[in-house]
Structure formats: structure tokens, C-alpha cells
Amino acid sequence: MDQIFDITIVGGGIVGVASAYKLQTAYPHLKIILIEKEPHLADHQTGNNSGVIHSGMYYKPGSLKAKNCVNGRRELVAFAKKYNIPHDVCGKVVVATDKSEFPFMEKIFNNGILNGVEGIEKIDAQRIKEIEPSAHGIAGIWVPCTGIIDYRAVTEKMAELVKNMQPKSEIHLGEEVKAFENETQHVTIITNKNKYQSKYVIVCGGLQADRLAKKAGVQLKEKVVGFRGDYYELTDAAKYKVKNLIYPVPNPDFPFLGVHFTRMTNGDIECGPNAVFTFKREGYGKTDFSLRDTLDALSYGGTWKLFFKNMKFGIDEYRRAFSKRLFLRTLQRIIPSLTMEDLKPGRSGVRALLLSTDGDTRDDFKIEYKDRSIHVLNAPSPAATACLAIGEQIKEMAEKHFDLGK
């Protein structure tokens, strides 16, 4: 404990590591320690999402999500090119299968224009077939700047660069932060293994963001609620049915983008995810259960308001989670030729959503400062795409609130 770090970053997902990378790049003299409770970086949301580089067309113009997604995407692609991270800016089609979807398709197209998403165009059924021969749609949007990437590889490269820039900076894995003690000149960070002194703290806790914020004394009304997303994969014999990325027009009444098709950087094709309430924040199996997490979520009024607002969707999602046939039926709306034999079970991921007291999940990114700490309270999709822009925003907040020196 004789060593005092300049900044401690709690959380080794892509947002935490991007924040370390941005700060270390701007201030090479800083001694930064990053603490992650899992044995590897990017072990939760970062490493279990669909690996898409989002364009930025779904988000409200002027929002942090919109600005950070567009700016972050461009910076992420440049980073991937510079450091040979597996990626491919392959483009995607958003497919409408019914005229009732046209008004919302028009809205997201206009959002894309306002958000500065380059190259997007409205396309007809014939053009959809040219891009994705197996897909069925009556109209759509071609989004050429969407891509795929290995987010784990991005996270690991940024961590490596931090260490190269400042050998005195440290990354500690398999160590869980249990408490914070605010002193006059520093914060003491208590883990399950050690105590560290740090002038300042940045918390990027993902699925544990609300709990870590409360440990640091942040008054927070909202709670993080987890939603598991299950994927199927196409068998080798069926992979030809998807060239790159195919998305439905998202339902404006439902807080998720809907089941889509994604070619991964390793050539696998994923179909999903659905979205079901999870009884364990870091539970990836369909029957995983944590009494603490369940009580935490179900004793919160916002959870029940979300359930009641989305009752029909929620029931449908749960039925699909346990029925391959129902999952297939959803996929067949876009690719009618898919069969049961084309699908095999894939992996799962869990999304962290900071749920407001009125049950709204569509809140913007939420980053707040208190005392000697910055807290990333809400960073759902497209946070991975936007990670470098979010890291830049956190660096600017640190410059405003912390004495970083030179």
C-alpha cells in the first residue's frame, strides 16, 4: 500500500479498457491500475455479444448513443485496421417483410441521415435478393458501413498498449472489488485479495454497475436488470443462406432490435438473440439462478412496470427461449427456406440495462461524477461499437474533475 496509483479503473470490459487506453494515451505518465474480477478481460457483455460494428441509425439524433456510436465506429474501424484486429466492414440489410413496418423503417432511415451514417440507401425486394439471395423482404435499407469484429481481440490489444505505454500501469485479473473508502486525498479500493490507494477511480461495472456505484456512495434510484439473449447457429450445410448481416425492422414498442442473422469473424453464422429476463445477472444458462439477483430485480417496481408494458412480447420471448420451433418460425419471416435441421444451439449473452423506476429501458448512456470517482452507470448496445468514443468522453470528464498533471 506504499504505492498510490493515479487512477483505478474497475471493470475489464471493453468500456473500462478503452477508458484506460484513452487516458494512458493522453497522459503517458499516469500510473493506472485496472481491476477485473474474472480471470480474463471481456468475459461478460463484451465477449458474449453478436460482434457487430453498429452504424448508428437506430438512436435518437443528438443522443450520446447516436454521437458516440457514429464517432466510435469510425475510430474502431481505424484501430482494427492499424492493429490487424479481425474485422470486416461488410454491410447489412434491414428487411421489412410487411407494409406495417414501413413507418418505422422510414424513421430509422431518417435517423441514420440525421446521425451522419454514411452510404445508407432504401432498397427494393430485388436489391435485397441481390445482396442476400435467401432473404425475403418487400423493402429494406442497405447499410454499407455496418460490420463485424472480434471485440475480445480489441479489448486485449488496448490493454496491451496501455502496458506498453506505461510499464508501471497494472492489470489485475481474478480480483473482485468489495468496497471503497473515500479519504481526503485518495480512495482506498478494497478487493478480495488486496487494498489499493488511488487518487481517483473510474467504475465501468457493466452488470454490477449499480451495486458498485452504491458501494462508492452514489445515490441511485435505478437498478440494473439483466436480460439473457440466446443464439442458434447455422449448420455448415446451411451457412450459404446468409452472406453477411440481415436484420428485421425493429418493433418500436419493444426495447430490443429483434432476432437477426450475423456472420462472425470466424465464419460462423449466428441467429438471435431473443431477450428474456434472467434470474442471474451473470447467468448464461437457461436455468441459471441467483437468489440475490432475483430478489434484487423482483423487489424493484421498475421491473414490474417493464413486465406489464411488454407482457405479450415477454411471453413470446420466453416461449421462444424454450422452443426451437418457435425460434425457427421467427427466423423464417426473413429466410423462409430455413429448416429445423439448419439450426444448432449456440451461446448466450446477458445485457445489462439500467432500468428506470417507470420501467423504461431505452435510456441513453449514463455516466456520472461523484467525489473522486466517475461511474459508467448505463452502457448497453452500442457501447462496444462506441467504446473508444465513450473512453474519450470519460477522459474529458477526468480532465474536468481530476487533477491529472502532466
Q: Same domain for 313 and 229?
A: yes
Residue 56 lies in a domain: no
Residue 9 lies in a domain: yes
CATH at residue 26: 3.50.50.60
The full length of the chain comes to 406
Please state, in angstroms and rounded to a whole number, the distance separating the CA atoms of residues 43 and 306.
27
355-392 burial string, b = 16+ CB within 10 Å, else e?
bbeebbbebebbbebeebbbbbbbbbbbbbbbbbbbbb
Cell of 347: 451461446
Please state, in angstroms and rounded to a whole number, the distance separating the CA atoms of residues 284 and 353.
16
Residue 316 lies in a domain: yes
| Domain region containing 350 | 225-234+254-355
Reported as half-sphere exposure (CB side, CA atoms, 13 A), residue 254 has a value of: 18
What is the pTM (predicted TM-score) of this model? 0.96
* Beta-strand relationship, 195-203 and 276-277: unpaired
Terminal Cα distance for the chain, rounded: 24
Strands, E assignment, 235-361: 245-248, 260-263, 269-272, 276-277, 343-355
Please state, in angstroms and rounded to a whole number, the distance separating the CA atoms of residues 318 and 231.
13
The residues near 312 (Cβ < 8 Å, ≥ 6 apart) are: none
The residues near 237 (Cβ < 8 Å, ≥ 6 apart) are: 342
Tens digit of each residue's pLDDT, the chain (406 residues)? 458 999 999 999 999 999 999 999 999 999 999 999 999 999 999 999 989 999 999 999 999 999 999 999 999 999 999 999 999 999 999 999 999 999 999 999 999 999 999 999 999 999 999 999 999 999 999 999 999 999 999 999 999 999 999 999 999 999 999 999 999 899 999 999 999 999 999 999 999 999 999 999 999 999 999 999 999 999 999 999 999 999 999 887 776 778 999 999 999 999 999 989 999 999 999 899 999 999 999 999 999 999 998 888 888 888 888 899 999 999 999 999 999 999 999 999 999 999 999 998 767 899 999 999 999 999 999 999 999 999 999 999 999 999 998 6
- How many other CB atoms sit within 10 Å of the CB of residue 81? 11
Instruction: Determine contact, residues 19/394, Cβ cutoff 8 Å.
Output: yes
Instruction: Determine contact, residues 149/94, Cβ cutoff 8 Å.
Output: no
DSSP state of 233: E
Please state, in angstroms and rounded to a whole number, the distance separating the CA atoms of residues 401 and 373.
9
The residues near 133 (Cβ < 8 Å, ≥ 6 apart) are: 243
Burial of 345 (0-12, 13-18, 19+ CB in 10 A): exposed
Residue 80 lies in a domain: no
Cell of 404: 491529472
The closest of 119, 115, 116, 120 to 61, measured between CA atoms, is: 115
Cell of 370: 461523484
Cell of 185: 486525498
Q: Same domain for 170 and 215?
A: yes
Residue 176 lies in a domain: yes
Q: Same domain for 286 and 391?
A: no
- What's residue 255's pLDDT? 67
Q: Same domain for 258 and 339?
A: yes
Beta-bridged to residue 52, according to DSSP, are: 148
- What's residue 61's pLDDT? 96
Alpha-carbon dihedral angle through residues 279, 286, 245, 134, given to the nearest 10 degrees: -140
The closest of 252, 273, 225, 242 to 134, measured between CA atoms, is: 242
Q: Same domain for 229 and 283?
A: yes
* Domain total in the chain: 2
Residue 75 lies in a domain: no
Question: Cell numbers 475480445 label which residue?
Answer: 152
- What's residue 362's pLDDT? 63
- What's residue 251's pLDDT? 82
The closest of 218, 206, 223, 212 to 190, measured between CA atoms, is: 212
- What's residue 123's pLDDT? 98
Residue 37 lies in a domain: yes
Q: Same domain for 175 and 213?
A: yes
Q: Same domain for 284 and 338?
A: yes
Q: Same domain for 159 and 286?
A: no
Residue 85 lies in a domain: no
Q: Same domain for 331 and 379?
A: no
- What's residue 320's pLDDT? 86
Q: Same domain for 286 and 348?
A: yes
- What's residue 45's pLDDT? 96
Strands, E assignment, 131-244: 139-143, 147-149, 170-173, 177-182, 187-191, 195-203, 223-234
Please state, in angstroms and rounded to a whole number, the distance separating the CA atoms of residues 245 and 143.
10
Question: Cell numbers 481491476 label which residue?
Answer: 35
* Beta-strand relationship, 4-10 and 260-263: unpaired
Q: Same domain for 213 and 266?
A: no
DSSP-derived 3-state class of residue 139? strand
- Give helix 151-165 / helix 14-26 axis angle, nearest 10°: 30
Q: Same domain for 33 and 158?
A: yes
